[in-house]
Amino acid sequence: MDRSKRALSVEGLNALFARGSAVVYAMEPLESFPLVSIGENITKIIGLSADECLATPDFWTQYLHPDDAPGVRVEWRNIFEDGESAHEYRLKHKSGGWRWVRDERMLQRDSAGKPTLVLGKLDDITEHKDTEDRLRALDARFFEILNLSHDAIISVNIEQRIILFNEAAESTFGYRADEMIGKSIDVILPERHRLAHRRYLRDFGNGQAETRRMRSLRGEIVGVRKDGSEFPAEASISKVVALDDPVFVAMVRDVSDRKLSDMALQGALSDARQGDLAKQEFLANMTHEFRTPLNAILGFSSLIEREMFGPLGNKRYNEYIRFISSSGAHLMNLVDSVLNISRIETGDEALQCSLFEVAALIEEAVGEISRDISGKGLAIEVGVADGVTQIRADRMALRQVLLNVLSNAVKFTPTGGKITVFANFEPTGGVGISIADTGIGIAAENIKKVMAPFAQTNDAQHASQGGIGLGLPISRSLVELHGGSIRIESELGAGTTVRIMLPPPSHQDG
């Protein structure tokens, strides 16, 4: 303030500020700083008139907030050295509450340099302080929320210096927040990545963004802990633009455990694939090794059975040869089944689809097991609905399905029972083939089990019939390769119906 303003009288200052919100006052430069004058508008701040203030002995002791008084008096004493000062404190209102004021003071001296008067100006800043308190409460609540997050949350300014570091960031990186505020973000990044990160944030900051909108980039980064160790992390980096100053916020998650789990899973999958490959190679080799002697057994037993080089002499030999031939055929069927399920599991089974007559295929399958049917004294009935003529499928695969299901029907149907084969249209437009028997049936809890490879039920009647449990699983897989399905309905002691459902031609492979 220049000399002319310092020379203004207290009355002149009061007149100058009378219409404003500021309250001008004067006090003597003594130890207790007694009031000499104060503007009438002091009433707006503390509810007292100017006369009431001046009439109050030791006004400052009466109306200064006890917590603020020591600091205010120190400021007043410092004015003798500095010539002016400013301070914020609370004054008591007539109603008993407290009002915040900002006090700006200056010391006047006479021509000899002796202090003559202290002039001051009071501004009511109560609303401003209330706003600050609310903001502080919001900030505190905001930080509580940030600290509830399990992810590290870090904010940096345009200079890439840290301005926020939550509790999860402390536990993730090993630094305390007070160690990191003001530090470069480089501290928690590997040196080899720092330049690229600076460039990214610089380009990100220079990009276009609408006010109060956020842009994000997600990706994997590498973090550095306080002890120097590195760890893989996922980060979501956003930019907030406010008052033209961009602020970057990163949410960082340590994914070390997940990476280890992924590596372990990949290792387990690799081991499983290697084991599966070894199993497939073993099965391929073993089926080859089985097939070679079995072909010889079947071939030579066939020659002997037909007495190609003369009579055997003893009839028992014929019986033994038929047994050898039957056993060899059974073993060959088992080998083929194992090989089939292996090919299906590895996806090596490819369909060769063509059009063929449904009735002809059914007759062929029934004919192939007709000896077994007649041998057990079973009746068989075959029917094809009107209009069911040709289907498009892999003929050999569907033939195997029918043989597998028919063989089971024969195996588990007692002497004198009946097997019914019927083909008709499905509601979907596809073709369905049902094979029903009056056999021993399957318990409801075992139906799912008999569709699994190598599974065996605990039922003694089923166990006594032998087999390795591959017929139905192979059949289901072959039908599913066509886009179809198999459904089993059964009741213990009443029989079983297996429904083979094939989709319309447009839904089939090939």
- Cα 299–Cα 303–Cα 304 angle in degrees, nearest 5: 115
pLDDT value of residue 276: 67
Question: Please, which contacts does 298-302 make with residues 24 or more away whose CB atoms are closer than 8 Å?
Answer: 298/325, 298/328, 298/329, 298/332, 301/325, 301/328
Contact between residue 226 and residue 173 where contact means Cβ atoms under 8 Å apart: yes
Please report, in angstroms and rounded to a whole number, the separation of the first and last CA atoms in the chain.
98
Indicate if the pLDDT at residue 484 is higher than 90.
Answer: yes
Are 247 and 278 contained in the same domain?
A: no
Torsion over CA: 328, 332, 334, 335 (sign): positive
Query: Which amino acid type is present at position 107?
Result: L
Q: Please give the backbone phi and psi of residue 246, each rounded to the nearest 5 degrees, phi first.
A: -75, 140
pLDDT at 498: 95
CATH number of domain containing 23? 3.30.450.20
Tell me how far apart the alpha carbons of residues 471 and 339 are, in angstroms, rounded to a whole number. Answer: 12
- Based on the structure, what is the number of domains in the chain? 4
- In tens, the pLDDT along 322-357 reads 767 666 666 776 666 666 666 666 666 678 889 999
Q: Is 205 in the same domain as 317? A: no
Q: Of 216, 237, 254, which residue sits at a domain end?
A: 254
Domain end call among 190, 225, 254: 254
Instruction: Give the total residue count for the chain.
Output: 510
Say if 132 falls within a structural domain: no
| Residues 493 and 383 both lie in one domain | yes
Q: State residue 290's pLDDT score.
A: 66
Task: Give residue 43's domain range.
Answer: 3-124
Q: Which amino acid is at 404?
A: N
Q: Give the residue carrying structure tokens 């979501």.
A: 236
**What amino acid is encoded at 182 in this protein?**
G
With respect to residue 129, please indicate whether it lies within any of the assigned structural domains.
Answer: no
Residue range 147-171: mean pLDDT, rounded: 88
Average pLDDT, the chain: 81
215 pLDDT exceeds 50?
A: no
CATH number of the domain enclosing 471: 3.30.565.10
Shared domain check, 188 and 268: no
* pLDDT bracket for residue 90 (50, 70, 90): very high
Q: What is the mean pLDDT of residues 36-43?
A: 92
442 pLDDT more than 70 = yes
pLDDT in tens, 110-145: 888 899 999 999 999 999 888 888 877 776 777 777
One domain for residues 282 and 268: yes
Domain-embedded: residue 340: yes
pLDDT over 70 (residue 216): no
All residues at 6 or more sequence positions from 346 whose CB lies less than 8 Å from its CB, including other chains: 276, 280
365 and 471 share one domain = yes
How far from the centroid of its chain's Cα atoms is residue 13's Cα? 70
Do residues 357 and 481 both lie within one domain?
Answer: yes
Angle at 462 between CA 362 and CA 498, to 5 degrees: 30
How far is residue 105's CA from residue 360's CA, in Å, rounded to a whole number? 115
Specify the pLDDT at position 7. 40
Q: Is residue 364 part of a domain?
A: yes
| Segment 280-284 mean pLDDT | 64
248 with 332, same domain? no
- 357 and 484 in a single domain? The answer is yes
Q: Which residues pair with 437 in a beta bridge?
A: 419, 496
In the prediction, which pLDDT does 434 show? 96
Determine, yes or no, domain membership for 135: no
| Biggest alpha carbon–alpha carbon distance for the chain | 157
Asked whether 64 and 98 are in contact (CB, 8 A), the reply is no
Kindly state the tokens that stand for 32: 């207790």
Residues 493 and 358 both lie in one domain? yes
Q: What is the pLDDT of residue 8?
A: 46
**pTM strictly above 0.85:** no
Same domain, 26 and 52: yes
Residue 457 token pair:
């039920």
Taking CB atoms within 8 Å and a gap of at least 24, the contacts of 326-331 are: 328/294, 328/297, 328/298, 328/301, 329/298, 331/290, 331/294
360 and 500 part of one domain: yes
Question: Taking Cα atoms as reference points, which of 61, 136, 45, 54 lies closest to residue 98?
Answer: 45
Question: Please, are residues 89 and 103 in contact by the beta-carbon 8 Å criterion?
Answer: yes
Beta strand 379-384 with 418-425 is: parallel
Phi-psi domain of 347 (left: phi exceeds 0; alpha: psi -120 through 50; beta: other): left
Confidence band (pLDDT; 50, 70, 90) for 169? very high
More confident residue, 74 or 335: 74
Strand arrangement of the beta sheet that strand 98-109 belongs to: 35-38, 23-27, 115-124, 98-109, 84-92
pLDDT at site 432: 94
